[in-house]
Amino acid sequence: MTNEELVQKGIITADNLAAQGKLNPQQADKFLDYVIDETKLKNAARMVKFKPESLEIDKIGVGRRAAVPKSEATDPGVRRGITTSKVTLTPKEVMVPVEIGDTFKDINIEGEDIETHIIKIFATQLANDLEELYVLADILGPAVLQGDIVDGGSTTQYIKDNYLALMNGWLRLADSGNVVDALGGNIESKIFSLAIKAMPSKFKRNREQLRFLIASDLEQNYREKISTRATGAGDVALSTTKNLTPFGIEAVQVPLLPLQPTVVEHVVVNTDGTTATALRYKPVTAIVVTPTTITGDTPITPYILDTDYSQDLTNGTITRLTGGAIGSGATVKVTYSPYSQMLLTHFRNLVLGIGRDVRIEKDRDIFKGVNQYAITVKAAVEIENIEAVVKVVNIGLS
């Protein structure tokens, strides 16, 4: 069943919602397939559907060389065992709340069908939002302008992004893997080669099962560079939408991965008012400093540059200024934009969990004159084997 057929066959329509509520298992599976198909992760990650509140994935392996020399009629004297461990997926509940007013429904050109059309739009938006969560989530929660995520919100004050604070996404989890610094070099074959060389040899046996996960704009930079070649690869880069395959490994665009991902840290500033505190990455192009107590409900004014702190974007540092509002030795939340990053791993190593208990519910507020909808799912994200991940950081933006 194609995505369009799925939509047309009533998995997500306004009429069905009135009595639907919790989808039955078949409908839930089809809906989840639809949501994942809408992302770019279908062939670059492993989707695990689950029913319970959490799910444990068993890992099994050898971990080191198993073969030993063998002499005729002689016991080698050693035995090899297997290593086992578990990866636990702990889901978080995510909701898409929608209201459709009676007046809008009456005057639009689609009439009553507008509700079904809008539900489709929000199902697609759910796919985008989940992709953002899987890739960029950080439990510390970045500070964001309220107006960027709240209609009519402040354009100068910040709140904590509670959505991205639900869990740690792949980009954050990969900090525990094999990290390679591109030293500001622009995207080219050398950068992909650095990633491949950093991957432990035992995970490079089948390159066709590896994937580069790369920001769309970064992939476009590489595609533009390759397109200038008078070769077949140049023609493919210039005139098709096929994924490029540097060194035989498919490069998968991740649209919700920005060219410069947002990074958040809680750092302890110096006590003397002159010593710089280093961030995780350098260089960076923007820094926002707030208290760690910032919430997602009440917007606040961030600390003031050159009054409360100074910054060095090239070296990725902040310095508390004596006499400012940041206390001596205080812990602050620093949200900033480093250079580009990308991942290299086995296509089944990135795990996205999504619960089969999908609810698509409809209600009516007679006083406001609106129909209300809620799409609710449970989502989780993990990396099965952190050893099999390479994270390339500090890739140039040009």
Q: Which residue has the higher pLDDT, 14 or 74?
A: 74
E-strand stretches of 62-115: 83-89, 92-101
Residue 163 CB-density burial (10 A; 0-12 exposed, 13-18 middle, 19+ buried): middle
The band of 48, judged by pLDDT with boundaries at 50, 70 and 90, is confident
Non-local CB neighbours of 36 within 8 Å, separated by 6+ positions: 42, 47, 127, 352, 354
* Residue 249: C-alpha distances to residues 131, 196, 389 (Å): 22, 9, 14
Q: Kind and range of the H or E element at 156?
A: none
The band of 4, judged by pLDDT with boundaries at 50, 70 and 90, is very low
CA atoms within 13 A of residue 266's CA, in its CB half-sphere? 11
pLDDT at 85 over 70: no
Q: Which residue has the higher pLDDT, 111 or 181?
A: 181
Q: Which of 33-47, 96-110, 155-169 has the lowest mean pLDDT?
A: 96-110
3-state secondary structure of 129: helix
The band of 64, judged by pLDDT with boundaries at 50, 70 and 90, is low
- Tell me which amino acid residue 226 is: I
Q: Which residue has the higher pLDDT, 245 or 69?
A: 245
pLDDT at 383 over 70: yes
CA atoms within 13 A of residue 72's CA, in its CB half-sphere? 0
Instruction: Give the per-residue pLDDT at 9.
Output: 42
Q: Kind and range of the H or E element at 193?
A: helix 189-198
Neighbouring C-beta atoms of residue 201, cutoff 10 Å? 7
Average pLDDT over residues 179-185: 96
Instruction: Give the per-residue pLDDT at 104.
Output: 53
pLDDT at 166 over 50: yes
* Cα–Cα nearest to 33, from 379, 354, 255: 354
Query: Beta 263-268 vs 277-278: how paired, if at all?
Result: unpaired
pLDDT tens-digit readout, 212-265: 999 999 999 999 999 988 888 888 888 888 889 999 999 999 988 999 999 999
pLDDT at 81 over 60: no
Which letter does DSSP use for residue 321 in this model? Answer: P
Query: Beta 340-346 vs 350-355: how paired, if at all?
Result: unpaired
pLDDT at 88 over 50: yes
Instruction: Give the per-residue pLDDT at 58.
Output: 59
pLDDT at 370 over 70: yes
How far, in Å, CA of 259 to CA of 359, rounded? 34
Q: Across all residues in the chain, what is the average pLDDT?
A: 83
Instruction: Give the per-residue pLDDT at 360.
Output: 75
Handedness of CA 380, 386, 388, 391 (dihedral sign): positive
The band of 114, judged by pLDDT with boundaries at 50, 70 and 90, is low
Which letter does DSSP use for residue 315 in this model? Answer: T
Q: Which of 31-45, 46-60, 119-133, 234-248 has the lowest mean pLDDT?
A: 46-60
Which residues, in sequence order, are bridge partners of residue 95? 376
pLDDT tens-digit readout, 350-362: 988 888 777 877 7
Instruction: Give the per-residue pLDDT at 395.
Output: 97
Which letter does DSSP use for residue 225 in this model? Answer: H
Average pLDDT over residues 112-130: 71
Average pLDDT over residues 389-398: 95
pLDDT tens-digit readout, 274-296: 899 999 999 999 999 999 999 99
How far, in Å, CA of 16 to CA of 128, rounded? 24
Average pLDDT over residues 122-144: 89
3-state secondary structure of 213: strand
Which letter does DSSP use for residue 244 in this model? Answer: P
* Residue 175: C-alpha distances to residues 47, 151, 171, 392 (Å): 22, 33, 7, 10
Which residues, in sequence order, are bridge partners of residue 87? 57
* Cα–Cα nearest to 35, from 151, 119, 145, 150: 119
On whether the CB atoms of residues 352 and 48 are closer than 8 A, the answer is: yes
On whether the CB atoms of residues 315 and 349 are closer than 8 A, the answer is: no
* Cα–Cα nearest to 26, from 1, 54, 62: 1
pLDDT at 269 over 90: yes
User: Would you state the CATH architecture of domain 3-55+89-158+350-385?
Assistant: 2-Layer Sandwich (3.30)
Instruction: Give the per-residue pLDDT at 12.
Output: 45
Which residues, in sequence order, are bridge partners of residue 382? 351
Q: What are phi and psi of 382, to 5 degrees?
A: -155, 165
pLDDT at 1 over 70: no
Handedness of CA 317, 322, 324, 326 (dihedral sign): positive
> What is the full DSSP assignment across 40-75?
S-TTTSEEEEE-SS-EEEEEEE--S-------TT--
pLDDT at 170 over 60: yes
The band of 61, judged by pLDDT with boundaries at 50, 70 and 90, is very low
How far, in Å, CA of 86 to CA of 58, rounded? 5
Q: Domain residue spans in the chain?
A: 3-55+89-158+350-385, 171-256+388-393, 263-340
On whether the CB atoms of residues 390 and 198 are closer than 8 A, the answer is: yes
Q: Report the Cα 90 to chain-centroid distance in Å.
A: 16
Percent of the chain with pLDDT over 90: 48
- Tell me which amino acid residue 208 is: E
Would you mind telling me the total number of residues written for the chain in this entry?
A: 398
